[in-house]
Every structure is written in structure tokens, then in C-alpha cells.
Amino acid sequence: MTRSEALLISVVIPAYNYAHLLPRALDSVLGQLSDDVELIVVDDGSTDNTAAVLADYQARHAALQVISQVNAGAAAARNRGIATAAGRYVLLLDADDELLPGALAALREQVLVQPALGMVLGAQISVYPNGRERLRVPPAVPSAGPRALIRRYLLQKRISISHGCSLFRRDLLLQRPYPVQLRSGEDIAVFAFLLVSAPVAVLATPLARIYKHADSLRHNRDKAEEYALGMVEAVFSSLPADCQSLRRRYTAQRYLSLFRAAQNAGSHGEARHFYARALRLNPLQALRWSYLRKALRLLFGG
């Protein structure tokens, strides 16, 4: 058996201007490497000293693979790493996060027992800017049809999937690459596809420390409606026919999110437009008191 045939897990770290934090992520993986695990870092056109950090690590760790590309965004970097990987499964670790000791051993044990799994979802320790930590254990994923699973994930938000503490089957990631046209939320389309494509296992074991920080993209509302509709298209373009009836409700949900963001930003005209679109798409959803109260305040003041 060749090394590529023996590889079970590929850890892929997309990196962009995180040279000061990248060693923490690298050390957390390198301490867990074995014959059936590989580590790949995709330097997505960093302009800090990421390249120097990686060169230093490569000089000391021959097993580390480094790919350098012109800056193309997180989605493209993930896709590049996945295409290069040789493992049956892929763990995508952000450059500012870290694996916990024993994480890869726990994942290995799970997929060897259940080789048909498409995803393994583990717990995480969320670390906030003020130093507070919180253990997050993903809820169970029921054995259900695609429509019920997508409803539970997209509309009810009762299924939690995160990078860093989740393992994905590589052949499924190749079937549904990360949509590079989206500037944020590109993982939702991939996670939804994985969810309906193969069985899912959930581990209560914490696998990673995920460092929470403000996302500047979250506050960039330029072409917000265009991106929201692009996300809906990306999500549903890869889902089976029996899930398509949920598209209208999900679109309404995206408009309600835009409505909240516009209202919070004081853009009252945009907020009214977004709420009106949500109301036309799904009146029951838009007339929930949590949304209606804000809409009435917008219309009548107070």
C-alpha cells in the first residue's frame, strides 16, 4: 500500500495574513501527525511574513506541505487544499484556531468504525476576545430525509456545523466545492450538501479551540441583497429536488436578516424594502412578533 492509499485524514489550513497566529495552529496539528495523516497549508497570497513562518516550519518538519497562490479568498484556498489532499477525509482548520490534543485520534476512531460517514461533527471550545471560554457540543443529527435535515439546518438552526471541529469526506467536497463567488457564508452551501449526502456522526468530545473575533465582512453591506440571493442560489443548486420547496422560505429568512442589519445601521429605506420582500415571500415568517415589532417601529417611529 502506498502512502497516498494509506492516508485517512488530510488537515488543510488556509492562511492569509495570520503569521502571528499560524504557529499555534501548526503546532496543534504537527503534534498529532501519524502515517495516515497529512498537513497542507495554502498561503492565499499573504502580504505579512506568513511565507517566512512556513519556510521555517518546513525546514524543521518535512511532512508539512505548503501551497502558495495569488490571493483568491478563503473559498478558493480551501478548494485548492482539498484538490491537493490525498486523505479520504479532510479537516479544514482556520489559521487562527487550534486542534486540541487527541482530536485526530478521536476522529480516526470514529471513521474507522463507520467508514460510510460523510461528516463527523465534534464539540468545540469557543474562545471570545475577552478571554471567556464556552464549551459547545453540537446537537444530535437525526436519521431523517433530506428535506427534514435541510429544514432543521437552514430554517430551524438546530444542526451546528463548524470548521476546525468537523471532518468531511473528501469525495463529497470535490463534488460540491466552496462557492468562490461568495464573500461570506460560502460554507453554508457546502455544509448543506454534505448533510444530505451521507450519514453524520456527532462527538461530544471537544476537538478544537475556535477563537471568535469580529468579522469585518459582516459589517460590509455593499451589494448585500445581491450576495444574499447568490447564497440562496449556491445552497439550493446542489440540493435534491425534495428540498427545493424550502427555497422560498430560506430566501425570506435571508431578507429578514438583511432587514435587521439595515435597521441596525439606520438605513430605513433599505430596511423597509427588505422587510417588504420577506413579507411577500413568507408572510407567516415575516409576521412573527420579533420581526413585526421592528417593522412597526420603523413605520411609525417610537
Tens of pLDDT, residue by residue over 263-275, are 989 999 999 999 9
| pTM for this model (two decimals) | 0.92
Contact 14, 92 (CB under 8 A): yes
Tell me the HSE value of 302 on the side-chain side, using a 13 A CA sphere.
5
Tens of pLDDT, residue by residue over 143-195, are 999 999 999 999 999 999 999 999 999 999 999 999 999 878 899 999 999 99
The one-letter amino acid code at 255 reads: Y
Q: What is the dihedral of CA 277, 283, 284, 289, to 10 degrees?
A: 70
Instruction: Read off the C-alpha cell for 20.
Output: 502571528
Position 226 scores a pLDDT of 92
Position 298 scores a pLDDT of 83
Contact 11, 39 (CB under 8 A): yes
Position 219 scores a pLDDT of 47
Tens of pLDDT, residue by residue over 222-270, are 688 999 999 999 999 999 999 999 999 999 999 999 999 999 899 999 9
Q: Is pLDDT of 297 > 90? A: no
Q: Is pLDDT of 220 > 80? A: no
